[in-house]
């Protein structure tokens, strides 16, 4: 911690700080820590908001969640292959949430077709915030990681976290400190996730087939996605990788069960879209159904997508539910130890009680809809306002309630385009990537695939980087 603090102390000098910030911006641009600008210029790119220094993180908590990731992967995999669990779990949600209902409708049709492609690929990310009721950073070692969510679709920033990690090491070296690997663990998320996509391609068993990235109509996080493509080529240079928007896939065909796009057979479909309602119109849903009914391996398959919903997360936190998926009590207990309080808002006595408690104490909870991508959760007094507006309508069943995690506050410098970086109070969220590949009966791959940190100023409720709420970061273990 002292070595990191010496860098913070050096940055108190305005000239040193300005030079360090400019050096870091140029490093980011030179090494692809970038995203497409939202300016009207079509070829305008800028650097992703980032922290100048890594954020302190307790070593024990970091090692705990890294060691847990293979079991998290396995949990999602087993949930995804339990039809009756998903059906019963999501019953109330699909009655009120059109987006989740559309996903489940595809799942039902694929299930009835007996899964033309039984193998699923998941590039998952399990997100955690440290919980420290005292808020005293001197007691950082006492903080416990609590799971925020598991992302099963379009988990982002694994492609550009490695150069960001190197950027922060570069900054610290320029400030007189060379961090060790024990302090800043190596970050190879791009290679590990690329290896996962390549494993899916190999499992398809056709070397002439391609990997298809399905991307948003307007894609800003291009460099992150491209770095995964380049990682695939570094491992296996002859694999064809294609990028298409949904609007470019409406004419894709199924020939003898095979997915054909522009005359090319597709081995793996990797979604970097389809996680929000505004990305999906009727034609997109038809196209996704066609893809799901093909032999292509999907990342994620529709059942993996459903396994990552907030409602499933809430049900898994109920007493005894994890034991449905793990006979090993130690594994179940280790996963459960990372759960915070999660509550159903179904129109039941328990749901009414949870809503009343949150209305009385809105600042103790987060209200979460079935959405990904940042900017969707409800915090503070807005929790009361939203729940009072929902009242006891069926729409309330489309949400879950979660205890508000109280993370320790540290300091850092957030560097943004056209903004002077100044020291600010921040909180961080750690994401652990995982790769899992297999069918209901056999696993081909299951491994932890590196980490990412997203850091935001205190007072900001949400944490999405592309949504404009957070900055990219890495850990300095203490």
Q: Annotated active-site positions, please?
A: 125, 149, 151, 156, 310, 368, 372-373, 454
139 a known binding residue?
Answer: no
Is 108 annotated as contributing to ligand binding? no
371 in a known ligand binding site: yes
Q: Is 218 marked within a binding site?
A: no
The answer to whether the annotation marks 255 as part of a ligand binding site is no
Strands 144-151 and 120-131: antiparallel
Q: Is there a binding annotation on residue 149?
A: yes
- Give yes or no for a contact between 241 and 177, defined as CB atoms under 8 angstroms apart: no
Quote the CA–CA distance of 48 and 415 in Å, as a whole number: 9
Check the annotation: does 373 bind a ligand. Answer: yes
φ, ψ of residue 252 in degrees (nearest 5): -65, 155
Q: Contact, 175 vs 7, CB < 8 A? A: yes
Integer Rg of the chain from CA: 22
Rounded (5°) CA angle 194-195-199 = 120
Q: Tell me if 468 is assigned to a ligand binding site.
A: no
User: How far is the C-alpha of 233 from the C-alpha of 213, rounded, in Å?
Assistant: 14
Place of tokens 């600010």: 424
Residue with tokens 């692809």: 32
How distant, in Å, are the alpha carbons of 6, 214, 478 from that of 177?
A: 8, 42, 15
Q: Is 370 annotated as a binding residue?
A: yes
Does the annotation flag 403 for ligand binding?
yes
User: What angle do helix axes 2-10 and 161-174 make, rounded to 10 degrees?
Assistant: 70
256 is in an annotated binding site: no
Which 3 state secondary structure label does DSSP give 433?
Answer: strand
Residue 377 counted as an annotated binding residue: yes
Query: Do the annotations mark residue 420 as ligand-binding?
Result: no
* Binding-site residues for Mg(2+): 149, 151, 372
* Binding-site residues for ATP: 149, 310, 368-377, 379, 402-405, 429, 456, 462
* Binding-site residues: 125, 149, 151, 225, 310, 368-377, 379, 402-405, 429, 454, 456, 462
* Binding-site residues for substrate: 125, 225, 454
């Amino acid at each position: 911690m002292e070595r990191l603090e010496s860098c913070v102390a050096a940055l108190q000098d305005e000239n040193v700080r300005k030079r360090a910030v400019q050096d870091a911006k140029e490093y980011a641009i030179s090494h692809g820590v970038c995203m497409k600008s939202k300016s009207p210029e079509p070829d305008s790119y800028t650097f992703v908001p980032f922290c100048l220094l890594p954020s302190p993180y307790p070593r024990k908590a970091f090692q705990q969640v890294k060691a847990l990731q293979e079991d998290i992967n396995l949990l999602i995999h087993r949930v995804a292959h339990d039809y009756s669990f998903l059906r019963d779990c999501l019953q109330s949600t699909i009655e009120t949430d059109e987006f989740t209902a559309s996903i489940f409708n595809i799942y039902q049709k694929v299930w009835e077709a007996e899964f033309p492609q039984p193998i699923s690929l998941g590039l998952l990310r399990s997100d955690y915030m440290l919980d420290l009721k005292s808020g005293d950073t001197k007691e950082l070692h006492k903080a416990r990681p609590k799971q925020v969510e598991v992302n099963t679709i379009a988990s982002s920033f694994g492609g550009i976290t490695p150069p960001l990690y190197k950027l922060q090491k570069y900054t610290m070296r320029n400030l007189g400190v060379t961090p060790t690997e024990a302090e800043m663990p190596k970050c190879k998320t791009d290679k590990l996730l690329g290896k996962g996509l390549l494993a899916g391609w190999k499992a398809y068993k056709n070397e002439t087939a391609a990997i298809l990235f399905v991307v948003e109509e307007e894609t800003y996080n291009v460099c992150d996605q491209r770095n995964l493509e380049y990682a695939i080529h570094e491992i296996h240079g002859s694999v064809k990788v294609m990028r298409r928007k949904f609007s470019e896939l409406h004419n894709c065909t199924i020939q003898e069960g095979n997915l054909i796009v522009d005359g090319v057979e597709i081995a793996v479909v990797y979604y970097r879209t389809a996680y929000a309602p505004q990305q999906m119109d009727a034609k997109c849903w038809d196209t996704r159904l066609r893809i799901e009914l093909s032999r292509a391996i999907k990342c994620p398959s529709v059942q993996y997508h459903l396994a990552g919903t907030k409602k499933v997360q809430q049900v898994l936190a109920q007493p005894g539910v994890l034991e449905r998926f793990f006979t090993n009590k130690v594994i179940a207990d280790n996963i459960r130890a990372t759960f915070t309080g999660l509550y159903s808002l179904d129109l039941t006595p328990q749901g009414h009680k949870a809503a009343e408690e949150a209305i009385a104490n809105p600042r103790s909870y987060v209200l979460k809809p079935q959405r990904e991508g940042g900017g969707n959760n409800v915090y503070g007094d807005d929790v009361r306002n939203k729940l009072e507006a929902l009242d006891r309508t069926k729409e309330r069943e489309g949400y879950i309630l979660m205890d508000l995690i109280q993370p320790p506050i540290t300091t850092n410098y957030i560097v943004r385009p056209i903004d002077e970086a100044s020291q600010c109070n921040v909180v961080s969220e750690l994401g652990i990537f995982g790769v899992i590949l297999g069918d209901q009966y056999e696993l081909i791959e299951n491994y932890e695939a590196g980490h990412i940190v997203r850091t935001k100023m205190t007072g900001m409720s949400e944490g999405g980087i592309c949504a404009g709420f957070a900055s990219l970061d890495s850990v300095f273990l203490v």
